Structure 1
Amino acid sequence: MRHIIIILCFILTSSFVVAESSGLHWPKEIKKNETVVVLYQPQLESFKGNILEGRMALSVTRKDKKPVFGALWFKARLATDLEERTAVLEKLDIQKIVFPGVKDSVKIDKFSELFKQEVESWNLVMSLDRILAGLEEVENLNELSVKLNNAPPDIYFRTSPSVLITIDGDPIYKNIEGANFDYVVNTAFFIVKDSKNKYYIKGGKFWYVSNEATSGYTDTNKVPSDIKKFADKNLPKEEQDSATASLTEAPELIVVTKPSELITTDGDPDYATIEGTTLLYVSNTESDIVMDINSQVHYVLLAGRWYKSSSLEDGSWTFVEPADLPADFSKIPNDSDMADVRASVPGTPEAQEALLEQTIPQTATVDRKTATVEVKWDGDPKFEKIEGTNISAAKNSDKTVLLIKNKYYCVDDAIWFVSDNPLGPWTVSDVRPDEVDRIPPESEAYNVKYVYIYESTPEVVYVGYLPGYTWSFAYGGCVVYGTGYWYRPWYYHYYYPRPVTWGFGVHWNPYTGWGFSFGLSYGWIGWGFHPYSRAYWGPRGYHYGYRHGYARGYNHGYYRGARHGYAAGYRAGQRNSYNNVYRNRNTGVKHTGTARTQPANRTLNNKARPSTRPNNVFADKKGNVYQRDKSGNWQNKNNAKPAQRPTSQPSKQPATQPSKGTTQKPQARPSTGQNRQTPQQRPSVSSQQKQQLNHSYQNRNRGNQNYNRARTSGYGGGGRGGARGGRR
């Protein structure tokens, strides 16, 4: 015991001197001369809003002495950078420190006070992958499961190059001033109608013509010069991918006005086995298609939802509840070409991790003085009551505007604004109306319920949004994209589109989150005219996570699975600044993500260097500390020595019962004394404790594996980089 007190006295009388850190490594250590304090990876206990609480095991070691083990409890504000997959624990508050077996409370209190002063000056950087793994141990963590519309869209199947052209309802035409043709407003594709009622579509290097708006398109080289000039001016100037460029024949066009999806294969389906299962998968497709051999039923994964059919023909698909998938889906190997679908199979580690991602907010600090919003109205403001609520939502505005208790609220780029008048002026709100939690998914305003206000000062407001704001939701133990509902767009003088679920081949990838594919459609999406409205709710445009996409199919192989990320498939919503909607604003956001200017008295954890010790020490909720050895055994690291650990009888009764204390005690417990020669065997770890410790170890190990795998794969600075969980 004496050397323990000496160590604590030594370090509490000296200031901490620490080296630069690599930031994300665990454990971390603080060194002063010959004394080292080691902090082990945090274990999480509570996560509400943007406040994270947990505990850390720690050890204090002086040269040639055994380490003294302890535990500390902390509370911190979480600031996230989903693009870099890192988070900062700000305003770190050390609430308690204990050293099991150390009785000198005065010395411990003095050490704790100095230690708290040092550590609380940090802003502690952590890997988001490790935080996610730790969240599995948080009790009562809300999975945010919601009621969605899972009815299948119209599903088309083709075995040759094809493109799905989506129009959001019946075509809406708008004349271009000074031109002899109209363009279709309610689509992300280039569709125009000339004065002779001929329709032209431009996609990639191909032109198409038809006498009907939604059918009968054939490729053509005869295009009116004014239409061609207009297209050249407004279509994106990008190189085509090798698949499209290598085509000698124009792909088939499938033009739809209802929610639809397209499944394509490169010729007849080519089936391959999935090792260890009774499943086959179609290898020559950009879609995720699995066949159950026993039932001869096909399953296709669309927007995170499974649909089944006895054949691949058009229109025969039905929705499958995640719990009703064949048992072998959970046996798909994690190194299989189909490993990426495991995130859509409930109960798998990948599905659990995706669910946990739904609980992590992207955070920002908003400057009240500079944050502004401009709301555009097509005529006088019109509102319509949201069923089941006391909220009315604007119908003819370019942004989400809600009328609640005679106040007008606007949500723009995940910031709440408030006004007494729908025409403004608008100011940053420090109140999120409780009523928004009642908005049902049938409303196009549903996503704003996932935008939060955490704290505020006279100068700034701390805000954040969950993936639900970007239309990523939990359902049946998995994560899905979109509500599945069709929302009627607004059109009068101007066209204001609404969020969509279908039509763009939404896929989930464990490295990059939601991505999009459309068959062969590189260079087809996102033409730049649409001068009278916000950009289209689809690839490119207002919802920046949507990108133009291309098939992983024709002529360039089918590299699939988690090991390959999105590199050989659909175009993913890349992990860049587009993923954090707060970066869309030129003004008003002081900080978002972890790259920020630190106050003079706070530092990103550059005061703790990486430790070379194994990351194998854990603390339980009572402060007992355990270490796992290479054989998987757990040792209780109580700091008391064997001679100091008998029952209290010897210390209380030596004078009154000397003979019993000296003669009977050793004879009564000789074997126990022999078994307790080493501290590692005192006291034993119960089976329940071992189970809990093993669970914590497995979660930590998985988080470290995900972090290391992401780093070697090149996704993001601290991990896979960026906001998983969908796009707005």
Structure 2
Amino acid sequence: MNRTLLLVGACIALFGSMCFDGSCPRCGAQAAAQQSGAGTSAAVVPQAQSNTSWPQVFSQNGFTYTIGMPSFVSINGTAITLSASLNVAQPDGVQNNGTMTMMGFTATGDRPGDIEINELMVMQVQLPNGGDVNAAQTALSTLTNGLAVDMSRKAIAQQMTINPITTQGLGNQMPEIVQRDVATVLISVAGEPQLTALAATGWMRTTNTPFILLQNASKVWFVRMGQSNWRSSQTLAGPWIAAAAPDASVMQAMGTAPTPPKGFTSTPIKNAVTPTAPIEILVATKPTVLISSNGAPVFNVVCDGVQQMTNTNSTFLRTTTPAADWVLASGRWFARLQGMTTWQFVPPNQLPPAFENLPATGSLAAARASVPGTLQAKSAMLSASQTQTVTLLRAKAICNVKYTGAPLFAPIAGTDLQYGTNSTAPVIQSGAQWYCCDDAAWFMAASATGAWTLCDTLPQSFASIPATSPMYCVTYVSPVSSTVDSVTFAYTNGYLGTYLNEGTAVFGTGNAYETTNLANGQSQTYPQTYGSDNQYDDDTGTYAPDDDYYNEYPAVQPDVYGYGYDGWGYSSAWSQAWGWGMANRSWWNNDNWNNFYPYGDRWNNGYSAWQVHQNRLADERRSNMAESARLGGVGGVGGIGGIGGVGGIGGIGGMSGFHPEHRNNNRDQNRDQNRDQNRDQNRDQNRDQNRDQNRDQNLAQNRDQNFAQNRGNSVMNQPRPQGQAQIFGGGIRGGGGGRGR
């Protein structure tokens, strides 16, 4: 199952077999480092930690080792191989020149779009002109133990040759494409409206949409735009006209919005713009893409043979060869020959060659992730292999799943599994066991209602959950290792709704998930592919809404009920409007969810939502400031926290100098506190007897074997979590998603 770039097992993929005795290069290098006293010898002077440029210099026992900026050799799943020039200066003054080969594992870096290469192992040292190769390899293994380097994901992608990968089971069903030359917003309803009474008010609320769509006793429809502007219509087709707000009793029956977490306040919108023309409303009961322009379409040339419509928030292009119009929606291209009215889906390998020349900056930069062979598309492929992890204490982890009424289950087609149709988080039944994926962590229980405990392994049948099931996204979450006291979980971007299609990144599976109508008049609606204002975010490797238009036009967006439906990992859920931007009026505002991260407040020992939010904004500022330096410099400027420029011949642009593996910053607080209390404590108590054996057995046996069983040909490295999400009321909260009802 080629769902991601991940490959089976670090030792298996690279060396052909699992290793528990240190016989493979990876484990042997670690064992050699430990036997030589890695990290403990007083003679070790890691000078490179204070050096901000390449080459990096280390000293040990009278020998000086000078390492040039590494060059990229290969990447295999999360394992990356690097090569670097090496000079060994002996105590007697004799100098030997050669090369060294290192292997490391990719993890998410501190800055959006960065990768940390950690768990460095010296695989080979060559000194053609003489010198003790074995002694040099042992010394370098000691000196680099616990160190890492940072680099831009784009820098790796720029040197990659990638075979196009496609997630199995993706659907490319044609959405309805509607083009309007007036400012219009889209309200998506999952099928014909399902109505439930709002207490004894005589009003009804539509339950199979995240938007506030009401009907009064006279069968007149009402929607709320922004926080206070109401529109009404005799039919869903319109026209929609200004209307007075419903009575206070109706508003009270709708309930109140979720309370922001302690210490987190709303970010005021600055410079909001009120449009001069009225905003029209389009209510759609099937998957729909809206192209709304502010007046007649206006086109500008963006590259040879390609024009862009400039007065729309959508990606709408016009080509001369062929003579056609093109729309990009959720990473998928649709074309209409000029003079024709019918749109059709176009596979990525049939796009016009001119699309490869779309600008890499500005509004079309995100579109390049949907063009095979571009740097952005390669970066998306690489991002698909990056994992996020968290280690949870068995004694403290709590599953917060709830049901609307008694638990209800339905079969998952093609499997012997059942899934919960009225639960607030994915619940899957396998035989006499129930499994719940709550905020990217798996729990298990002997009944649908608990008691829930952390889950060490998943049934193999979970790997066969098809993309046509609304449970599909949870197949990208897996337990990867465990101890007596804790379990480590990992996920890749498929959990957030970003998948690969012929070497490009797309949002959503392309399959429309039917609404489940519950006996109490409620509806369970699942994340949808179309109808949200999203674009590819290269920093995170996921799809995110563009916040600009929400900031400019907050008062004209259809409001959402309780801030939308559950994301279940789809960080966007589908609680945003299309057309003139976002429809989320919660405390997220312009932050949105383009740095969405399930392992946030709930799993980081109470780390405050406000602090996570501030750190996220700081990360974005640092990333923006660093981008030009990272990609435009000459040489290898780096060091602790340093930012490398473009390397020399064969070098990797954007590589920092060596620095300690990131273990003590905010991003790693959760992992490190848990590891200090559990894995590290247990490892240190039994270092010589258990560290390699226990860790490698767990890592290779549980992580590689178990994850491979659950995800097909895949491997989970354990990168450091990036603390960039917030979880409210036990639910995943992206900028537009949430558990609020």
TM, length-normalised to structure 1? 0.68
**Does the 8 A contact of 1:39 with 1:56 survive in 2?**
no
159, 174, 196: which one aligns with 1:174 = 196
- Structure 2 matches for 1:249-288, cutoff 5 A? 249-275=277-303, 277-288=304-315
In structure 2, relative to structure 1, the CA distance for the partners of 1:541 and 1:329 (3 Å cut) is: closer
What residue is the counterpart of 1:508 in the other structure?
A: 536
TM-aligned CA distance change 1:94 to 1:507, over 3 Å = closer
CA contact (8 A) 2:387 2:491 kept: yes
CA distance in 2, matches of 1:469, 1:331: 31
Structure 2 distance, partners of 1:726, 1:527, is 14
- The answer to whether the 8 A contact 1:167-1:257 is kept is yes
- The equivalences for 1:30-429 within 5 A come to 30-31=58-59, 35-38=64-67, 40-41=69-70, 43=72, 45=74, 47-48=76-77, 52-60=79-87, 62=89, 68-76=97-105, 79-80=107-108, 84-88=112-116, 92=119, 94=121, 96-105=123-132, 108-120=133-145, 122-127=146-151, 129=153, 132-133=156-157, 136=160, 143=165, 145-177=167-199, 179-204=201-226, 206-212=229-235, 214-226=236-248, 230=252, 234=256, 245-275=273-303, 277-310=304-337, 316-334=342-360, 338-429=364-455
| CA spacing shift, 1:377–1:89, aligned 2, 3 Å | same
**Is the contact made by 2:74 and 2:80 (CA closer than 8 Å) also made in structure 1?**
yes
SS of the residue aligned with 1:291? strand
Mapped contact 1:159–1:265 kept (Cα < 8 A): yes
The one-letter code sitting in structure 1 at the alignment partner of 2:183 is P
What is the 5 A alignment of 1:303-702?
303-310=330-337, 316-334=342-360, 338-492=364-518, 493=520, 494-511=522-539, 513-516=542-545, 522=554, 530=562, 535-537=564-566, 543=571, 573-576=592-595, 579-583=596-600, 585-586=602-603, 614-615=635-636, 697=651, 700-701=652-653
Q: Describe the shift of the 1:727–1:232 C-alpha distance in structure 2 as closer, same or farther (beyond 3 A).
A: closer
- 1:258-302 CA-to-partner distances (Å, cap 9, x unmatched) read 111110112111111233x22222122111111112432101111
Q: 1:15 — aligned with what? A: 43
- AA at the equivalent of 1:348: T
Q: Shift in Å at residue 55 of structure 1?
A: 3.7
Counterpart residue identity of residue 397, structure 2: A
Does the C-alpha gap of structure 1 residues 431 and 89 become closer, same or farther in structure 2, counting only changes over 3 Å?
farther
Counterpart code for 1:166: S
SS of the residue aligned with 1:274? strand
Q: CA deviation at 1:474?
A: 0.5
- Structure 1 position 468, deviation (Å): 0.8
Q: Structure 2: any 5+ residue segments left out of the alignment?
A: 1-39, 259-265, 583-588, 616-629, 638-645, 657-666, 669-719, 726-733
Deviation of 1:389 after TM superposition, in Å, equals 2.2
Cα distance between partner residues in 2 of 1:233 and 1:424: 28
Q: Give TM-score scaled by structure 2 length.
A: 0.67
- Contact preservation (8 Å) 1:377, 1:397: yes
Partners of 1:389 and 1:439 within 8 A in 2: yes
TM-superposed CA distance for 1:208, in Å, is: 0.7
Q: CA deviation at 1:61?
A: 5.1
Q: C-alpha separation between the residues in 1 aligned to 2:647 and 2:221?
A: 72
In structure 1, runs of 5+ residues without a counterpart are 1-11, 555-569, 596-609, 617-627, 633-695, 706-715
TM-superposed CA distance for 1:483, in Å, is 0.9
Q: How far apart are residue 323 of structure 1 and its match? A: 1.1
User: 1:188-234: per-residue Cα shift (whole Å, max 9, x none)?
Assistant: 2222222333222110353211223x222432243344268559985
Q: How many Å apart are 1:415 and its aligned residue?
A: 1.3
Contact 2:394 2:487 in 1 (8 A): yes
- Return closer, same or farther for 1:426/1:380 CA change in 2, 3 Å cut-off: same
Structure 2 distance, partners of 1:22, 1:177, is 67
Partner of 1:453: helix, strand, or coil? Answer: strand
Q: Give me the whole-angstrom Cα distance separating, in 1, the residues matched to 2:104 and 2:208.
A: 49
The aligned amino acid for 2:151 is S
Distance 1:184 1:227 in 2: 17
Please give the alpha-carbon distance, in whole angstroms, between the structure 2 residues aligned to 1:305 and 1:370.
42
Taking the aligned partners of 1:23 and 1:384, their CA distance within structure 2 comes to 60
Structure 1 position 498, deviation (Å)? 0.8
Provide the secondary structure at the position in 1 that maps to 2:245: coil
Distance 1:25 1:185 in 2: 59
Give distance in 2, aligned partners of 1:511 and 1:13: 39
Secondary structure of the equivalent of 1:436? helix
Q: Kindly provide the amino acid, as one letter, of the partner of residue 115 in structure 1.
A: L
CA gap 1:722/1:251 in 2 versus in 1, 3 angstroms: same
Query: In structure 1, the residue corresponding to 2:600 is in which secondary structure?
Result: helix
> Displacement, 1:412?
1.4
What secondary structure sits across from 1:399 in the alignment?
coil
What is the letter of the counterpart of residue 287 of structure 1?
S
State the structure with more CA Rg.
1
> Residue 70 of structure 1: CA displacement?
2.8
Could you tell me how far apart the structure 2 residues matched to 1:378 and 1:23 are? 59
Cα deviation digits, residues 362-414 of structure 1 (max 9, x gap): 22222222112133233443333322223222223222122224322211111
Q: Counterpart in 2 of 1:560? A: none
Query: Contact 2:219 / 2:234 at 8 angstroms: preserved in 1?
Result: yes
Matched letter for residue 522 of structure 1: P
1:465 Cα offset (Å): 0.7
SS at match of 2:376: helix
Partner of 1:220, secondary structure, is: strand
Query: Do the aligned partners of residues 573 and 316 (structure 1) sit closer, same or farther apart at CA in structure 2, a change above 3 Å counting?
Result: farther
The one-letter code sitting in structure 2 at the alignment partner of 1:285 is T
- Partners of 1:112 and 1:447 lie apart in 2 by 43
Paired residues of 2:544 and 2:594 also in contact (CA < 8 A):
no
The number of residues matched between the two structures is 576
AA in 1 matched with 2:437:
V
Cα separation, 2, equivalents of 1:551 and 1:28: 52
Contact 1:304–1:480 (CA<8 Å) still a contact in 2?
yes
Deviation, 1:447, is: 1.0
Are the structure 2 counterparts of residues 249 and 268 from structure 1 closer, same or farther at C-alpha, using a change threshold of 3 Å?
A: closer
